[in-house]
Amino acid sequence: METIKQASKQIIEQLIRLAECISDENFTEPLSVLLNNSIGKHYRHIIEFYQVMFEGLNSGLINYDNREHDPELEQNRNKCLEALRSIEQRSMKPIMQKTMELSVSYSVESDDLFSVATHVEREMVYNIEHAIHHMAIIRIAIQHEFPDIRLEEEFGFAYSTLKHLRQQ
């Protein structure tokens, strides 16, 4: 579990460092390369998935579809940074190993849910991979729209991809 927690911490720290150096305008601007979404919306999405997971640690139930969709997280960098720092701190606290229930729906026509068993480690890994996926999208947007912003070399790359690139 410590390896997973450290990986999560590294990902959150990368997000924090970028959010600290990007302007409010760049953070909130709708970008055509993101289908008129903003970098802030991708941050909000990452944050809310982590928040749902942590709430699930208490209740034993996780449903990523039941997120708040808080517009302030995507429009206010300071609130976003506060939420990221909270996630970073929460990720490093002792986490009880337990089984949980993940509820999902794959229908746009109904609210029918089904559940699968999951556990803390699996959901932490999922959130890391989910964050990296959105960080890759953020990376594309920044390189396309804001080429003056310097990204960390590892930002938006999966650990396996970085390992592969270093072996070449």
Q: Where are the domains of the chain?
A: 2-167
pLDDT tens, position by position, 77-97:
999 999 999 999 998 888 877
Sign of torsion over alpha carbons 64, 67, 71, 77: negative
Cα(3)–Cα(120) distance, rounded to whole angstroms? Answer: 13
CATH architecture for the domain at 2-167: Up-down Bundle (1.20)
pLDDT tens, position by position, 47-67:
999 999 999 988 999 999 999
pTM metric for this prediction: 0.94
Cα(15)–Cα(10) distance, rounded to whole angstroms? Answer: 9
Task: Round the average pLDDT of the chain to a whole number and report it.
Answer: 94
| Inter-residue long-range contacts of 95-102, CB under 8 Å, 24+ positions, other chains counted | 95/1, 95/5, 95/57, 95/120, 95/124, 96/57, 96/120, 97/1, 97/121, 98/57, 98/60, 99/60, 100/56, 100/57, 100/60, 100/61, 100/62, 101/60, 101/61, 101/62, 102/62, 102/63
Cα(85)–Cα(91) distance, rounded to whole angstroms? Answer: 10
Per DSSP, the residues of 27-56 read: HH--BGGGTTB-HHHHHHHHHHHHHHHHHH
Cα(135)–Cα(118) distance, rounded to whole angstroms? Answer: 25
Cα(19)–Cα(48) distance, rounded to whole angstroms? Answer: 16
pLDDT higher than 90, residue 98: no
Indicate the pLDDT class of residue 107, thresholds 50, 70 and 90: confident
